[in-house]
Structure 1
């Protein structure tokens, strides 16, 4: 880590940052000349900082604050190390960190540690999850009273229509995307294909598959930070908000995953299109936890505007082969690449919690050798009798708090802290107008 700074003497300051439960970067700005101390000894801030609400306020009834004296945790660098922050004007480095207790034990309220614990359970069984993510976001001109697509830097015109898989839409913002891919290269984020999507000024960038789930979540967290920061340098906003425009589809964060055994073979590969029994077990686990885990996949009030029938987001708890109307899709293609696509999460999620919930529930199904209901065919929105995910934020909070399924793979302290956070947000969001809610979520998520 120290070598990176020596190779980049132009860097004058660093940021040390950890992800809180909402996926917000919390940390400090430090002069680069003191970086060695951070690398060696870490830094400190209160445990409660990873349990702030979406405004960055303490949770009123959190036991982490006054009850425990607002005690400090120790935050140490993750294995990711230093990287540039290309969205800032001054040369600056980012050092991702995560939280530990004074005795060196991981802090269970840290979402990155929650994912690490799930990955450790896979390792104990000789298994390795392989993950890839598709991140959708909007480019938005938020300079006026009404949100709208930014004018093209090339033509100066606004295209006020969805342009699904349009090369013209990509070319209109070519300067931004060229800078974005250059920045991903500098930060070692494996950005692959980009497309225009069905929303107004909406795009998707795929991140390449990775056999390190922690790194995959890091990539998604860093990518969201980068896209939002870089867009501001280009004079507009980028938002992973689930549903900024009521009349257009929202932004999802679809996750593809498979599982390798100790030989490196895909345990979902049956040699044919149907997949193995272990794949079905993983599907069953994901379906069993989906209702109670919806709060992770849809963490904000605005998230539920996306989860409506017929808007390219799943509402029924179902699975199917090559079916994008179902919550779980098994893509076609080479059997060696057989995988599960989990389609519930919005772009506004915390990637660490999302992957912990997806991989944790899949492993629970594998451990139980559970069997899913038969796969659906056709339009899942039109199939009667299917169970559904919660329709409201409040119902999702209630379901999450029950934690019958979730406690198998999420720490009890994290579940408690997350519920307290969301109940506080639910209370104070009720005081905001729809316009104020959009303003809150546009930049924060």
Structure 2
């Protein structure tokens, strides 16, 4: 598609949106930063038409580098060493949608530096775009489906601690969790609106499951043959789900481990690989490519832990309760494994990568998984024994953030797969987040050491 045709299509999209939603005066132009938070600008919709027609759209480059709490860190040649320059962004076609959870009519649209004349090397969407482009040059097309677990809490925290949600119908606490279908009925109003709102954003959200934790649920997405769009869906779903929950007087959180005594929340990613003729590459040659891809994922997994477990809390999830691995492992129809191979026919043969916390950055999680699969296809090595054959099979991975950063920083396959500049920036961002996290004396420290 030529740039002229692209602008014509964007302009048509904006004008159609204005016609369908005449009450909307502003549109949030949003993009995901390294920690997985949205940043951006709120544009008058008439100015959005100008951008769609080709006017420049620029935001500070260093917005991407924000820490978990929004602060800027001194990283390499960036932030305090570069004058905080602007960088071009582009509108992502097909993502202009109405926002239904705000008080006033509003729209939102994704923006990104990928596909511009000067993409930001460490922007999460650009990192994934480069991996996908590399696979495309090899004639490989991933098909991806995300599954996201999350918790509902009461809207008001008690002494900063989340509280079990109350059944909207009976007022009872949801403190006896299980996977019974009745829990879906009790919270049906908010869950239904979450799915409907996601669908209105263009996200193919569908199956709802009541999970094991108090107020914990899972919502699945359809399989998508566009990796960028699949990650867009996961990012947009998190934003709309939090908004709908607040509208219903609740909080929705994708925090990896909100309760020590209850299961954590994961981001499960299903990935299959197809050639240009539509054949499933993982099913070829008696499934050797599948095993090679698994071996590659297992090799990179210990060195991508800062991506899969993006904060201190996320590491609490591993080895606790059920279905949360403490070592890099794989298995057929085994939810204790990091990499599960669901039972399926050859056409739908895939891996299910189960390690990431629900609050990880979906663009980076998918980029790391695909880089691992690519590495495995190139190395063509057999993986360790599956858990089905050896329950003790597995590869150790770091269990704390600083050790994980050290394991990621200089590992050649990760540098090659995700980009040296990104790895440097990302690891330093996480190291600085750790230092910022330590700048507070907790009540526990007083109890232990006072």
Do Structure 1 and Structure 2 share a fold, with TM-score over 0.5?
yes
The answer to whether residue 168 in structure 2 is matched with residue 153 in structure 1 is yes
Shift of 1:169: 1.0
Shift of 1:358: 0.3
Shift of 1:61: 4.0
Shift of 1:60: 2.9
- 1:292 counterpart residue number: 303
Measured in 1, the distance between the counterparts of 2:371 and 2:409 equals 17
Shift of 1:79: 2.8
Structure 2: any 5+ residue segments left out of the alignment? 1-12, 445-450
Measured in 1, the distance between the counterparts of 2:198 and 2:237 equals 8
* Aligned equivalent of 1:345, options 347, 351, 356: 356
- 1:177 counterpart residue number: 191
The answer to whether residue 430 in structure 2 is matched with residue 422 in structure 1 is yes
Shift of 1:310: 4.4
Q: Give the RMSD, CA atoms, in angstroms.
A: 1.9
Question: Alpha-carbon deviations, 1:126-166, whole Å to 9, x = none?
Answer: 110000111000001151234222111111111212212x1
Question: Alpha-carbon deviations, 1:363-402, whole Å to 9, x = none?
Answer: 111122232122222784xx16x32111111111111112
- 1:96 counterpart residue number: 110
Measured in 2, the distance between the counterparts of 1:435 and 1:112 equals 38
- 1:323 counterpart residue number: 334
- 2:4 counterpart residue number: none
The answer to whether residue 313 in structure 2 is matched with residue 302 in structure 1 is yes
Measured in 2, the distance between the counterparts of 1:397 and 1:270 equals 36
The answer to whether residue 346 in structure 2 is matched with residue 335 in structure 1 is yes
Measured in 1, the distance between the counterparts of 2:19 and 2:287 equals 50
Measured in 2, the distance between the counterparts of 1:253 and 1:379 equals 25
Measured in 2, the distance between the counterparts of 1:32 and 1:225 equals 21
Q: Would you say the 8 A contact 2:269–2:354 is kept in 1?
A: yes
Q: Would you say the 8 A contact 1:325–1:379 is kept in 2?
A: no
The answer to whether residue 196 in structure 2 is matched with residue 207 in structure 1 is no
Measured in 2, the distance between the counterparts of 1:132 and 1:302 equals 25
Measured in 2, the distance between the counterparts of 1:42 and 1:16 equals 13
- 1:395 counterpart residue number: 403
Aligned length: 428
TM-score, with length taken from structure 2? 0.91
- Greater shift, 259-268 or 76-85, is seen at 76-85
- 2:413 counterpart residue number: 405
The answer to whether residue 217 in structure 2 is matched with residue 167 in structure 1 is no
Shift of 1:81: 3.2
- Greater shift, 61-70 or 188-197, is seen at 61-70
Structure 1: any 5+ residue segments left out of the alignment? 437-445
Question: Alpha-carbon deviations, 1:33-73, whole Å to 9, x = none?
Answer: 21112222242122111011011111134421232111110
